[in-house]
A and B are shown apart, each in its own frame.
Chain A
Amino acid sequence: RKEVEQDPGPFNVPEGATVAFNCTYSNSASQSFFWYRQDCRKEPKLLMSVYSSGNEDGRFTAQLNRASQYISLLIRDSKLSDSATYLCVVIPYGQNFVFGPGTRLSVLP
């Protein structure tokens, strides 16, 4: 089983829709989590950190479920500009970033 897994998608959703992605991880000692977005042929850019209590930034909400070992990202009121690949990042204790393979999102007009 891979350390970090994501549904590759693509998720094709209409503008204004709500979409959610999950990311599962295998190392229960993982301590830090992030969501990055990557546009086609560009570098990954930090979207948000994921805190134990969950956190929200505008239309984006991130949740962590340590018991089930997954993190989630919810995007409300999708915009065309949200089309990208969303990468989850897990940091196992004492190790460096481990990226998931990414989930592709296409927001359609």
Chain B
Amino acid sequence: GAGVSQSPRYKVAKRGQDVALRCDPISGHVSLFWYQQALGQGPEFLTYFQNEAQLDKSGLPSDRFFAERPEGSVSTLKIQRTQQEDSAVYLCASSFGGAPYEQYFGPGTRLTVT
């Protein structure tokens, strides 16, 4: 079956531009997670949805970061006025249930801000 997909796979943005990153979770998965992974580090939690409800956004680094999942399936992570420190791989994961369940990751979007 299809896994988690993300698009675009690579994005280069000039500082100050807005970007939108898309995630298509595994069909039927209730929970969706966004992570940020810097080079040489483990993924860091950004935000979590259960269906369309954003239950935890404690990991979003600033109010420039915004995520939505309006119909409980596809999700978009938006970053406004990108900064160089936003350069990272943004990973999306989905799971059948909530936090204790295994998560399945998409290939990520590598964002480079110049």
Contact = CB atoms under 8 A, between A and B. Distances in A.
B106 interface: yes
B48 to A, nearest CB: 6
Interface in A17-42: 31-32, 34, 42
A45 B45 contact: no
A101 B42 contact: yes
Nearest to A45: B105
Interface majority SS (helix, strand, loop, mixed), chain A: strand
A100 B42 contact: yes
A34 B105 CA distance: 14
Given A43-B91, A87-B42, A102-B42, A97 B104 contact: no
Interface bin, chain B: 20 to 34
Interface of B: 33, 35, 40-45, 48, 56, 91, 99-100, 102-108
B107 A95 contact: no
A46 B41 CA distance: 17
Interface of A: 4, 31-32, 34, 42-46, 49, 87, 91, 95-102
Contacts of A87: 42-43
A42 B107 contact: yes
Given A87-B42, A101-B41, A96 B48 contact: yes
21 contacts: A4-B42, A42-B107, A43-B105, A44-B43, A46-B102, A46-B104, A87-B42, A91-B99, A95-B99, A96-B33, A96-B56, A97-B33, A97-B43, A97-B103, A99-B35, A99-B42, A99-B43, A100-B42, A101-B40, A101-B41, A102-B41
